[in-house]
Amino acid sequence: MTESKSKKSFIQSLCTWTKQHKKSALALAIILASIQFLNFTGFCYSELRYLDRYELLDRFLFGPSTAFTEDEKIQKIAIRGGEYPGCCRITPEKRFLNKILGYYFYNVESHFSDPDPRSSDTPKYLTFSSINSCGTRVIHESGMPETQKSYDASVYSINKSWGFKK
């Protein structure tokens, strides 16, 4: 009974404060709505800006402080048996609760040569990871072997998503 009474008391005092401080309540609501908007749209708070897909991919593949030229990026990914940027697909995560709580994640699907091929049927490897809105890995990779046919189809689809006609 006292818990229910204390909840009513809290709500009543909150309503009283809101009535007395309408401007403060409105300002607080606007600030909270602005923060939620930034959370929902993938704003990178540490840099106070949005990162584009290329920046997110570069941070995923090469780390946060990379200053490679396009040719260097292509060469580094070719060594791993992939294409740049066609090795990876970045898609926004759609979990509503994460966004409400201030977390915006991207799912990263990457395709490379299998570093330890188990058979000639699966020469490639598919991995899934998650990164935050600043490009930092937040969930470790999980993956599986991939056939050459599946790899080729995926890379074709990924290249189309990047705007390439390969």
Which of 84, 87, 81, 89 is CA-nearest to residue 73?
A: 84
What predicted TM-score, i.e. pTM, was given to this entire model? Answer: 0.75
The C-alpha angle 19, 25, 30, rounded to 5 degrees, equals: 150
pLDDT value, residue 12: 82
| Chunked mean pLDDT (size 10), the chain, 166 residues | 69 78 85 87 91 92 84 90 90 82 87 74 85 87 86 91 78
The first and second tokens of residue 82, run together, are 């992939």
- What pLDDT shows up at residue 41? 87
The answer for residues whose C-beta is within 8 angstroms of residue 150's C-beta and 6 or more apart is: 124, 126
Contact by Cβ (8 Å): 124, 147? yes
Give the whole-angstrom CA distance, residue 74 versus residue 162: 15
pLDDT at 125: 87
> Which is it for strands 88-92 and 105-113: parallel, antiparallel or unpaired?
antiparallel
